A = this chain, B = another copy of it.
Amino acid sequence: MSETETQTSTKTRWKLTIEYDGGNFCGWQRQDGVPTVQQTVETAIRAFCQQDIVVHAAGRTDSGVHALAQVAHFDLDYGARDLSGFVLLKAINAHMRPAPVSITHAEIVAPDFHARFDAHNKLYRYRILQRPAFPALEKGRMWHIKRALDVDAMHEGAQYLVGKHDFTSFRDSQCQAKSPIRTMDQINVTKHVYDDYGGVEIRIEAQAQSFLHHQIRNIAGTLVMVGDGKWAPIDVQKALAQKDRAAAGPTSPPDGLYLVRIDYPSLGV
């Protein structure tokens, strides 16, 4: 490059919305020797732009956990070339096929946007299939429970978790968060018709600014204790008050868990 030529390094920060089938990956976070969503997305972007980028997600989902709309950001040095979100999305997706990961939206954001720190709310959904027959079409996508659950009791028990609490009882022993205090904005347990023979889909939807490791799966496992009648709804409050992981129910399987939506009020969403 001659002295008269100057190249402006124009880093652009991109926000990606990502859908994936978690059953095919050992979670979001890059690890050696196993397929992860982060690695799949990063490899595709590197193949497309030939730059050593890193993709930062709003939250690291565990192995087997799905996302309808994970959010992540990364910086692309694309000089003066004009790149639309639509073109970027198409290029990354083309490089990811046939992996079950898809960029559903891509947009340029402010250079200081941070997928994790700017997230105002996260909405997770946990799906339970209640019927004798295991799921054929939704295999790996729901927690299959054969016995009938009391959904009203589950919803009642869940309400004790709303508000600011020490969630130690629902936190994995490996959780690396500094504080076990979280504020649950809302949590609802609802019942939906699944098939014509009494099959029921139970959905637990939980919204908070952030969650602890395994928090929703531990809550789901506990609410099923209530649904089974082994616990009264008030026992959820007692488990919470004990601040002891052993006081709450078991961890439910990852199959039923979906990261549904992340809100960024600074972006108008």
A interface residue numbers (CB < 8 A to B): 17, 19-21, 66, 68-69, 86, 89-90, 93, 97-98, 100-105, 131-137, 139, 141, 195-197, 199, 261, 269
A224: min CB distance to chain B, Å = 20
Which of A89, A93, A134 lies at the interface centre, i.e. has the most chain B CB atoms within 10 A of its CB? A134
Hey, which chain B residues are within 8 Å of A21, CB to CB? 136-137, 139
Hey, which chain B residues are within 8 Å of A102, CB to CB? 133-136
Other A-B pairs, 7, CB within 8 Å; known A19-B137, A66-B137:
A19-B195, A20-B136, A21-B139, A89-B132, A93-B132, A100-B137, A103-B133
Hey, which chain B residues are within 8 Å of A20, CB to CB? 136-137
Contact: A104 with B197, CB < 8 Å?
yes
Hey, which chain B residues are within 8 Å of A101, CB to CB? 136
A14: min CB distance to chain B, Å = 15
Hey, which chain B residues are within 8 Å of A86, CB to CB? 132
A25: min CB distance to chain B, Å = 11
Which of A90, A103, A133, A269 lies at the interface centre, i.e. has the most chain B CB atoms within 10 A of its CB? A133
Contact: B100 with A136, CB < 8 Å?
yes
Hey, which chain B residues are within 8 Å of A66, CB to CB? 137
A141: min CB distance to chain B, Å = 8
